[in-house]
Structure 1
Amino acid sequence: MKRAADLFDAPAKERVRAAVAAAEQTTSCELVPVVATSSGRYDRAEDVVGLWLACGAAVVVWLLWPHAVASGDWDAPAAWVGPAALVAAIAVSFTLGAWLATRIGWLRRPFIPADQAADEVNAAARRAFFDRRVHHTGGATGVLFYVSLYEHRAAVLADRAVVEALGEGFTCEVCAVLTKGLKDGAPADALCAAIAEAARRLAPVLPRAEDDRDELSNALVLLEEPGR
């Protein structure tokens, strides 16, 4: 699984910061880019991976363990050894599968419903919107650009003044620019393009005032742990 810190090196982070600074020279809005490694924990998917591995181990033990004892064989294992080996194989395999799924993202990906991933990303974007104080600007003009690498999803959230000026469609249109760039495989370029597109639309309706001050940092925010 790609980590946000590994995907954005120092030059990439500087490019995004410069894009935010340039955009905020034309509009009074505060633009905040956030990239998360993952937006959710997906514990159930990890358990499903463990369950599948446990089922496979149970089948292997059942096929390999002798079910009949030859007449006159006094060296055969006790009757309880077979069931005990089966239980031990299931327990160890389940634990190993769940542990591997926490560290290897593609193992649990097939078991994560698309709607659950979308809900996790949307919830994480809303948390970032409040945690990063994007909602707390003086003119209610904050805009959040949120990218979640593991889920391959993005979201754009805007505060009240932006929605009143440009409507709900603004965030959807800017998010479309962001997701297209991400699909092309260049996250830093995608963020810069989305920031520039947002500024182009915001500048005519929410222009930068002479006394405007920078309320939030222009730096790219990288989140490595879900909910952090």
Structure 2
Amino acid sequence: MIDDGMRDRIAAAIQRAEQGTRAELVAAIAQRADSYRSNALAAALAAALIAGLAVWALLPWPGPVEMLAAELVAFLLVYVLIAFTPFGVRVVPAARKRRMASRLARLVFLERGLASTEEHCGVLFFVSAAEHYVEIIADRGIDRAVEPGAWEKIVAAFTAAVKKGEVEQGFIAAIDTLGALLAKHYPADGSNPNRIPDRLIEL
């Protein structure tokens, strides 16, 4: 999804955006927000049970070895499929996917120091690819300054671009728009150190 050229161009967009503002802007993308091991375990146990029942029902004289082998194979196949492949995310309930992606976004916001800027003007543009989740998290200073609905419009424009296959264009447009908003409310004054590297964070 992200190649070297795209990384460089997105990094350049972040750098341009931050040159005009004393706010901190971070863009991050996660391949998936969680491994969903609990979902994988539950599905694998169910698959093992079904496999054992199938062997008992279909074979004329099933023994414990045959049943155990079928259960083990079914358990391992389903667990690996859900925990380690993109297909697994599809069987996870939508509410859980949103919850885990939102949780990861907030962890990134805190870990990158966006909640500890002096003027409370840190902003995170967060994407979780497997969950198709996009969110902008802003500290209270910039969140109060920006007009209502501004973040949602940026997210909607990015989502529309991704649906058309324009991932890079969507990222850069979102960063440019965020940079303009931050420059409007927190213009650069030469006193703000760039504490966070200007690059796309990949998780």
TM-score, with length taken from structure 2: 0.88
Among 68, 87, 90, the alignment partner of 2:71 is: 90
- Corresponding letter in the other structure for 1:165: A
Alignment partner of 1:24: what SS? helix
Aligned-pair identity in percent equals 30
User: Are residue 210 (structure 1) and residue 190 (structure 2) matched?
Assistant: yes
Alignment partner of 1:61: what SS? helix
Name 2:84's counterpart in structure 1: 103
CA distance in structure 1 between the aligned counterparts of 2:162 and 2:118, rounded to whole angstroms: 31
What is the RMSD computed on CA atoms of the aligned residues?
2.1
CA distance in structure 2 between the aligned counterparts of 1:178 and 1:134, rounded to whole angstroms: 22
User: Are residue 43 (structure 1) and residue 24 (structure 2) matched?
Assistant: no
CA distance in structure 1 between the aligned counterparts of 2:146 and 2:114, rounded to whole angstroms: 18
Alignment partner of 2:171: what SS? helix
In structure 2, the gaps of 5 or more residues are: none
Q: Deviations over 1:94-136 (max 9, x none)?
A: 1332123222221x23421111111111110000001111222
- Report the number of matched residues: 203
Residues 41, 79 of structure 2: 8 Å contact kept: yes
Residues 163, 170 of structure 1: 8 Å contact kept: no
CA-CA distance at 1:14 after TM superposition: 0.8
CA distance in structure 2 between the aligned counterparts of 1:165 and 1:187, rounded to whole angstroms: 28
Residues 48, 111 of structure 1: 8 Å contact kept: no
Q: Answer with 43-52 or 193-202: which moved more.
A: 43-52
Name 1:72's counterpart in structure 2: none
CA distance in structure 1 between the aligned counterparts of 2:124 and 2:162, rounded to whole angstroms: 16
Name 1:150's counterpart in structure 2: 130
Q: Structure 1 residues 222, 110: closer, same or farther in 2, change over 3 A?
A: closer
TM-score, with length taken from structure 1: 0.79
Q: For the pair shown, which has the larger CA radius of gyration, 1 or 2?
A: 1
